[in-house]
Amino acid sequence: MLREGVDEEAPALLSNNRLKLLCSSGGKILPRPSDGQLKYVGGETRVVSAPRSVTFKELKQKIVGMFSNPESVIKYQVFPEDLDALVSVRSDEDLHAYD
């Protein structure tokens, strides 16, 4: 869910101590014509699964490999916030902020 990188499209779902993330790349965040609400359009969305104990470095390597984009950045949406308030993930502390 990012313009030139990768963002988490939905909150992490916990399943047997694993994170399941919807990750998107290559699209754009645009206002919906009908109501102006921001929406992620285009690109590719894939599911990433990782152990809950995953490090930022390990997660980034997995996402970079999945999308073949070494410039990937990781951001997530905190619901119910809109897509204009994405939070950057740049460290283990950021990744595990809600543990």
pLDDT in tens, 74-97: 999 888 888 889 999 999 999 988
Domain range for residue 63? 6-95
SS3 54: coil
Contact between residue 55 and residue 36 where contact means Cβ atoms under 8 Å apart = no
Residue 10: the pLDDT is 45
pTM for the model: 0.74
**Contact predicate 49/20, CB 8 Å:** yes
In the chain, the number of structural domains is 1
Please report the pLDDT score of residue 47 as a whole number: 94
Percent of the chain predicted with pLDDT > 90: 61
Cis amide linkage into residue 80, ω under 30° from 0? yes
Task: Judge whether 1 lies within some domain.
Answer: no
pLDDT over threshold 90, residue 49: yes
